[in-house]
């Protein structure tokens, strides 16, 4: 055994007593897509498109997991960038300890299957000395993420296969691997001086993109790493000290029924065309949903409800189909997304967007921004109609984005929220509205870690689907 390998194994054996057991996922660790499904994911170490050329130990699924606080902070970064026309794509998040050891073994063993792309000018035995590989990684503590910036001018992402010809990660933007991001100067996991954050060897466009990403990340408490422009660690949670080794496993799908949701809001009306209904909160206890406090009144669309076009996997029965501008609230099961409001900050566990006069919700189905909240002063306008979110009344003083038609299908409906009602008898244009005290209660109660869902149906449909979708009794 080479001396470097013996040293690595000795180091790991000495540190094992201080590390967390390789058991279940801790409660503070969450799947990023349950907090913000709009953040793109390309988890490289779950496959072979990385510097080792093989999937790493412990990556049983291509999923990003982070601590809850780090995930919520990243969702706020995404919201800020979206308002400017940009977004995030993550390459790696939580990394099991066993995966770090796998990297260490690779650095001491013969073979360089991906050298030509990821480290053409570096000897892999120098990875540790140069700071590209760590013996104990902050990724294993749950607050570190590798990511890039998507946005205007980005070349479409290519589909990688093992037969793809390796191209130097420092090659010009149009020549190296197209990962769907804007030009960042190098590709991800590029072990080269050009990947250093303070390099002067990249073009001005790439430098601007790096600075845009860094500013957005630092604003929410993430600190960068000098040797890798893509690497950021959340610095506002001093409790992230334990090195973990639980495997990354698939997130259970919610295509049918309620999945692993532990918070539920059920909204029902008497008939399809009713404009009034009731909402009831539930919490899952001992694998059974129980009512939380009394039901409260809501108002619906001026033309009642219509089946949502999405999610497509939910069974649709007889009844109207929701379309853009039809004045119907969507019927089905929906995730709950970003909270928003007029205040700069809010007491909520949901990701929060403070509305400014420039924030719009695009309802033009021909736009690339259809069904998105955008900052109209920073995004190239390609829409003919939208809704101003900072209104002169109180309707959007507090609101929550209902993830209907997400990702957006043209003309299927847009800009659906929980928000404050105008009155108990005044319908909406398709949203679900309620009294200020009730939406404030939702702000305080909803927790992304509990995978909250909205079930919204006429009573007859609810009863018909209750057993199949495993819905609680009303």
Cite the active site residues: 228
Cα 346 off chain centre by: 20
Is the preceding peptide bond at 201 cis, omega within 30 degrees of 0? no
CA angle 66, 230, 21 (to 5 degrees): 35
CA angle 409, 300, 404 (to 5 degrees): 20
Helices (H) and strands (E) in the chain, counts: 9, 20
Q: Are 453 and 254 in contact (CB under 8 A)?
A: yes
CA–CA gap between residue 192 and residue 296 (Å, rounded): 59
**Which residues lie closer than 8 Å to 143 by C-beta, 6 or more apart?**
66, 67, 69, 70, 233, 234, 235, 237, 240
Sheet harboring 87-92: ordered strands across?
40-41, 87-92, 144-150, 228-234, 222-225
CA–CA gap between residue 34 and residue 23 (Å, rounded): 21
| SS3 call for 335 | strand
> In the numeric block, which tokens belong to residue 295?
């039901």
CA–CA gap between residue 51 and residue 186 (Å, rounded): 14
80-90: b (≥16 Cβ within 10 Å) or e: bbbbbbbbbbb
């Amino acid at each position: 055994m080479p001396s470097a390998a013996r040293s690595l194994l000795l180091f790991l054996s000495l540190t094992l007593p201080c590390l967390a057991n390789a058991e279940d996922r801790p409660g503070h660790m969450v799947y990023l897509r349950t907090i913000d499904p709009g953040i793109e994911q390309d988890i490289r170490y779950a496959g072979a498109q990385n510097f080792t050329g093989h999937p790493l130990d412990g990556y049983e699924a291509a999923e990003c997991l982070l601590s809850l606080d780090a995930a919520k902070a990243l969702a706020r970064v995404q919201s800020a960038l979206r308002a400017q026309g940009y977004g995030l794509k993550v390459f790696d998040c939580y990394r099991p300890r066993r995966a770090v050891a796998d990297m260490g073994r690779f650095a001491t063993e013969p073979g360089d299957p991906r050298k030509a792309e990821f480290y053409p000018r570096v000897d892999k035995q120098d990875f540790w000395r140069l700071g590209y590989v760590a013996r104990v990684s902050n990724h294993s503590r749950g607050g570190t993420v590798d990511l890039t910036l998507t946005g205007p001018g980005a070349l479409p992402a290519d589909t990688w296969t093992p037969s793809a010809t390796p191209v130097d990660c420092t090659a010009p933007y149009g020549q190296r691997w197209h990962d769907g991001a804007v030009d960042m100067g190098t590709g991800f996991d590029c072990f080269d001086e050009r990947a250093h954050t303070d390099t002067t060897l990249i073009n001005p466009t790439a430098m601007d993109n790096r600075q845009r990403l860094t500013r957005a990340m630092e604003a929410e408490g993430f600190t960068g790493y000098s040797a890798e422009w893509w690497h950021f660690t959340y610095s506002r949670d001093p409790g992230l000290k334990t090195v973990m080794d639980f495997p990354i496993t698939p997130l259970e799908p919610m295509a049918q029924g309620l999945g692993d949701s532990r918070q539920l809001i059920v909204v029902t009306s008497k008939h399809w065309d009713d404009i009034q209904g009731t909402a009831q909160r539930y919490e899952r206890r001992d694998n059974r949903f129980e009512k939380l406090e009394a039901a409260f009144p809501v108002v619906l669309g001026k033309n009642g409800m219509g089946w949502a076009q999405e999610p497509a996997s939910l069974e649709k029965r007889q009844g109207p189909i929701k379309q853009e501008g039809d004045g119907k609230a969507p019927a089905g099961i929906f995730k709950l997304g970003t909270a928003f409001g007029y205040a700069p900050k809010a007491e909520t566990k949901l990701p929060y967007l403070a509305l400014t006069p420039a924030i719009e919700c695009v309802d033009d189905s021909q736009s690339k921004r259809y069904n998105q909240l955008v900052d109209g002063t920073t995004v190239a306008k390609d829409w003919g109609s939208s809704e101003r979110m900072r209104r002169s009344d109180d309707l959007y003083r507090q609101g929550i984005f209902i993830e209907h038609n997400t990702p957006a299908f043209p003309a299927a409906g847009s800009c659906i929220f929980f928000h404050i009602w105008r009155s108990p008898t005044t319908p909406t244009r398709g949203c679900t509205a309620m009294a200020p005290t009730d939406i404030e209660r939702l702000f305080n109660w909803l927790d992304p870690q509990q995978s909250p869902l909205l079930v919204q149906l006429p009573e007859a449909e609810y009863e018909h689907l209750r057993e199949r979708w495993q819905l609680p009794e009303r």
